[in-house]
Structure 1
Amino acid sequence: MNSKKAQINLVISLLVALIAVIFVVMNTSPVAINFGFFKVKLPLIIVLVVMVIIGILLGWFLGQDKQFNKKKH
């Protein structure tokens, strides 16, 4: 039963990753990002890839917290 859930999670994760990649590749125009004291002009594809990586890292860290709490109990 656990194996089926893992397979479903893998398929859903791959679909989300595919949608994210398609979205990122379609948005390549340059954008200006204002950080308050300075402004940076980057292609939108770089901004989106960085945001996706940050989201993945946040999800991973939050998942690690849940696993830590399960091991603790």
Structure 2
Amino acid sequence: MKNKTRQIKLILILILTLLAVIFVVLNTKNVAINFGLFNVKVPLIIILVLMIIIGVLIGWFFGANGHKRDKNN
């Protein structure tokens, strides 16, 4: 049962990754980012990739902490 759950999780991750890649590739126009004191024009693709990476890191960090907490109990 554990192996089946792992396969489903992997398939979902692959589908979400594919959708994210398609979404990022379709959004390549330059956008203005306002940092308060100054504006920067950056391709939207860079912002999207950075946000995806930050989201993955946050998810990994909190997921890893949750697993450590479960092991301690």
Give the CA RMSD over aligned residues.
0.5
Q: Which runs of 4+ in 1 moved over 2 A?
A: none
Equivalent residue for 1:55?
55
Equivalent residue for 2:33?
33
Unaligned runs of 5+ in 2: none
Unaligned runs of 5+ in 1: none
Shift, 1:39, TM fit: 1.0
- TM-score, length of structure 1 as denominator length: 0.97
The separation in 1 between residues aligned to 2:59 and 2:70, in whole angstroms, is 17
The separation in 1 between residues aligned to 2:7 and 2:54, in whole angstroms, is 24
The separation in 2 between residues aligned to 1:11 and 1:53, in whole angstroms, is 19
- Counterpart AA for 2:24: V
* Superposition map of 1:3-22 within 5 A: 3-22=3-22
- TM-score, length of structure 2 as denominator length: 0.97
Shift, 1:25, TM fit: 0.1
Shift, 1:7, TM fit: 0.5
The separation in 1 between residues aligned to 2:2 and 2:16, in whole angstroms, is 21
How many pairs align?
73
Deviations 1:4-60 (A, max 9, x none): 000000000000000000000000000000010111110000000000000000110
Equivalent residue for 1:65?
65
